Amino acid sequence: MLRAGALLALGGAAAPLTGCGLLDRDDDPTPGPDPLTPLLDEALRLAAGHQAAAAAHPTLAGLLTPIAEAHRAHAAELARVIGVAPPSGSAPASPAEPGDPAAARAALREDERAGREAATRACAAAPAERAALLASIAAARATHVEALK
């Protein structure tokens, strides 16, 4: 009986504290940008880079255009997951080397390698519901690195 009374007393003492606002804090910070936003931006930048290189080097268009399309598809899916409007265009790309297709491929390969690493890091840090998408993007970028050799 004494234990029950003590528990009621403690429970009754805690109830008013939770109601007075001491333990109820509604000062949640404004959420920052979604952690996938940099990957979305990068996918758009990679798509634009491949498209610019394909335009500057028509002999590479057959190789680069499908890679650019893959990056645009990744950007659309990332936008859907983040909950933002799908991108309508591409991010600005650095200009392609006008006279040297080999240098353009090397630069794109390096961009893809960096992109693969970013996607791999994001995948490792992502919750399960996002990990499969990020792993797929990392795998695609690894394939792009090999295709650009």
Decide if 26 is inside a domain: no
Decide if 2 is inside a domain: no
Q: How many domains does the chain have?
A: 1
Decide if 136 is inside a domain: yes
Decide if 47 is inside a domain: yes
Instruction: For residue 18, give every residue at least 6 positions away whose Cβ sits within 8 Å of its Cβ, in sequence order, or none.
Output: 24
- pLDDT of the chain, 149 residues: tens digit per residue: 545 444 444 455 444 445 555 555 555 567 788 999 999 999 999 999 999 999 999 999 999 999 999 999 999 999 999 999 987 765 555 555 556 999 999 999 999 999 999 999 999 999 999 999 999 999 999 999 999 99
Task: Provide the whole-model pTM.
Answer: 0.75
Instruction: Tell me if 43 sits within 8 A of 74, measured CB to CB.
Output: yes
Decide if 127 is inside a domain: yes
The CA distance from 124 to 112, in Å, is 18
The CA distance from 56 to 100, in Å, is 9
Identify the domain containing residue 125 by its residue range: 37-83+100-147
Decide if 95 is inside a domain: no
The CA distance from 106 to 49, in Å, is 12
The CA distance from 108 to 110, in Å, is 5
